[in-house]
Amino acid sequence: MKKSIIERTIEAPARGLQKGIDSGQKIASTIPYSKNLSIQKAKDYWYTLGPGLTTGASDDDPSGIATYSQAGAQYGFKLLWLASFTFPLMAIIQEMCARIGLVTGRGLASNIRSHFGRKVLYISTIFLFAANTFNIGADIGAMANALQLLRPSLNFGILVVLLTLFIILVQIFTPYQRYAKYLKWLALILITYILSAIVAKPDWHLILQHALIPSFDLSKNSILLICAILGTTVTPYLFFWQTSQEVEDEIAAGQTTIALRKNTTKKEIKNMRVDVWSGMFLSNVVMFFIIAACGSILFVHGITNITTASQAAIALRPFAGNLSFWLFAIGILGVGLLAIPVLAGSSAYAISETLGKKQGLSKKLREAYSFYGVIIISMLIGLGINFIGLNPIKALIYSAVLNGIVAPVILVLILLIARNRKIMGKWKNGKISGSLGWILVILMTISGIAAIYSMIP
């Protein structure tokens, strides 16, 4: 029987697809098996990466880049060891947050509210919102400055407004699964900082020496800089974002109820650990290479007064060339697009969960007005910071102080939840992770006290 036009129209793409599959199989058969296997393993690994990768990458926001640049400019390679020191501590606490999200099926603030009440959350979320908003303001300004580096004729005021509106609209109107993919690919922008260090041609023998052997002096400036690095590496917004993104991924996979999300498997925990440790490794590797780049160029040439990421890019240009300058500037813009939504989103998750409101990037605007309202308000206040004359460095200092107050409190609550067998079941903390977690609490408490001390004239 003669087929209709509609049937022929439907079958044509199918025939074309089958031909493509047959052609692909023929091509694949000519590639060595070991190479095929390696490609498949790489694809599987990339598929495994998700919330951990974006959380780790967002930690290297423009303000973090400025801090690492300052460390390299002022002390050369002396503080390189901090990258390997903070890596396991950062990874362990983020793994706890991810595990809490997977096992309980709820965000961090929701868990704290259920097991410790709202009082501790009210103060913590207010401080978190304030710290994140200061950070957002500084990062928006840094992104605008980076664009001006690439195109000096652009107006700063117009740039910060356009960047703010763009980030707000993307967060609100982009479906979560597509949005998560954008963030995942944006994480790769951090490779520009690794390349910028390689282009700078540092002394790798000296770098390796300082990476393995800790060295620092006991001056006030050195101690405060170490505390600043610790504070910008282990920050409360990462805790809330990591936990909530694990839940968002489960919802995207069809686990729409808490009961469904509680059925955590061994494979899910394994994949989560690969994801989290990979993300934190990338974060600390980038810190390492930024310090190495600035230490090998700026410190050697006596350029020690670096306060912003843009200043670091400009200072590198005469000595490392245009390529290093462009890589540094493009990196600032890319990580800003990644980090600012994470900062605003973590505030929204924390506040919405504290108040018991609907939340999540997987929801539409009309389904979660409170959640998206926090994002919009935080972004607009951050935008306003760039017009009231508040120095971005002061904004980051205020942010560091607030984080220094909040971080130890939230860390204690995370540790108490993660070790509770009634909550976590067989996925509760082990002795090693628990001990390292409490060490981190002590370090973050010291860091917070140092941050407050830095405010004293």
pLDDT in tens, 168-203: 998 888 887 788 888 888 888 888 888 877 877 778
Asked if pLDDT for residue 326 goes beyond 90, the answer is no
Q: Which residue is associated with the tokens 């390299």?
A: 72
Pick the closest to residue 187 from 375, 344, 337, 347 (CA basis).
Answer: 337
Q: Which of 2-11, 148-157, 247-256 has the lowest mean pLDDT?
A: 2-11
Average pLDDT over residues 332-337: 85
pLDDT of residue 225: 79
Q: Would you tell me the crossing angle of helices 119-150 and 62-75 to the nearest 10 degrees?
A: 70
- Both tokens of residue 276? 């989290």
In 10 A of CB 225, how many CB atoms? 21
**The amino acid at 435:** S
Asked if pLDDT for residue 28 goes beyond 60, the answer is no
Report pTM: 0.83
Instruction: Round to whole Å and give the CA distance between 57 and 194.
Output: 13
User: Residue 51: CB partners within 8 Å, gap ≥ 6?
Assistant: 98, 241, 242, 245, 246, 248, 249, 275, 276, 279
- Both tokens of residue 58? 């967002």
User: 33: pLDDT confidence band, cut at 50, 70 and 90?
Assistant: low
13 phi/psi in degrees, rounded to 5: -60, -35
Pick the closest to residue 395 from 407, 406, 405, 382 (CA basis).
Answer: 382
- The number of CA neighbours under 13 Å toward the Cβ of 422 is 4
- The number of CA neighbours under 13 Å toward the Cβ of 19 is 6
Q: Which residue is associated with the tokens 């260090």?
A: 197
**C-beta of residue 443 within 8 angstroms of C-beta of residue 230:** yes
pLDDT of residue 38: 73
Percent of the chain at pLDDT exceeding 70 = 89
User: Coil, strand or helix: which one is 213?
Assistant: coil
* Alpha-carbon distances, residue 395 vs 187, 376, 390 (angstroms): 25, 19, 7
Tens-digit pLDDT profile for residues 46-86: 888 888 889 888 888 888 888 888 888 888 889 899 998 88
Name which residue leads in pLDDT, 210 or 158.
158
pLDDT of residue 10: 41
pLDDT of residue 9: 41
**C-beta of residue 407 within 8 angstroms of C-beta of residue 60:** no
**C-beta of residue 291 within 8 angstroms of C-beta of residue 80:** yes
Asked if pLDDT for residue 286 goes beyond 60, the answer is yes
- The number of CA neighbours under 13 Å toward the Cβ of 249 is 24
Whether the CA torsion 208, 45, 188, 261 is positive or negative: it is: negative
In 10 A of CB 393, how many CB atoms? 13
Instruction: Round to whole Å and give the CA distance between 260 and 355.
Output: 23
Helix segments in 187-321, DSSP class H: 191-199, 204-212, 220-233, 236-252, 258-261, 266-294, 309-320
Q: Give CATH for domain 59-455.
A: 1.20.1740.10
Name which residue leads in pLDDT, 123 or 161.
161
Asked if pLDDT for residue 262 goes beyond 90, the answer is no
**Which letter does DSSP use for residue 445 in this model?**
H
User: Residue 381: CB partners within 8 Å, gap ≥ 6?
Assistant: 133, 136, 137
Nearest 5°: CA angle at 172, between 50 and 354?
Answer: 75
User: 43: pLDDT confidence band, cut at 50, 70 and 90?
Assistant: confident
pLDDT of residue 165: 95
pLDDT of residue 101: 92
Tens-digit pLDDT profile for residues 129-174: 998 998 899 889 888 988 888 888 889 999 999 999 999 998 888 8
**Which letter does DSSP use for residue 297 in this model?**
I
* Alpha-carbon distances, residue 85 vs 233, 281, 284, 440 (angstroms): 11, 11, 9, 11
What does the mean pLDDT of the chain come to? 82
- Both tokens of residue 28? 């694949």
User: Residue 152: CB partners within 8 Å, gap ≥ 6?
Assistant: none
- Both tokens of residue 219? 């001056």
User: 7: pLDDT confidence band, cut at 50, 70 and 90?
Assistant: very low
Asked if pLDDT for residue 343 goes beyond 50, the answer is yes
Average pLDDT over residues 226-244: 86
Instruction: Round to whole Å and give the CA distance between 233 and 226.
Output: 11
User: 5: pLDDT confidence band, cut at 50, 70 and 90?
Assistant: very low
**Which letter does DSSP use for residue 4 in this model?**
P
Tens-digit pLDDT profile for residues 354-407: 988 888 888 888 888 999 999 999 999 999 999 987 777 677 767 777 887 888
Pick the closest to residue 251 from 358, 105, 352, 46 (CA basis).
Answer: 105
Asked if pLDDT for residue 306 goes beyond 80, the answer is no
pLDDT of residue 133: 92
Q: Which residue is associated with the tokens 């409190």?
A: 409
User: Coil, strand or helix: which one is 254?
Assistant: coil
pLDDT of residue 31: 54
Instruction: Round to whole Å and give the CA distance between 134 and 396.
Output: 7
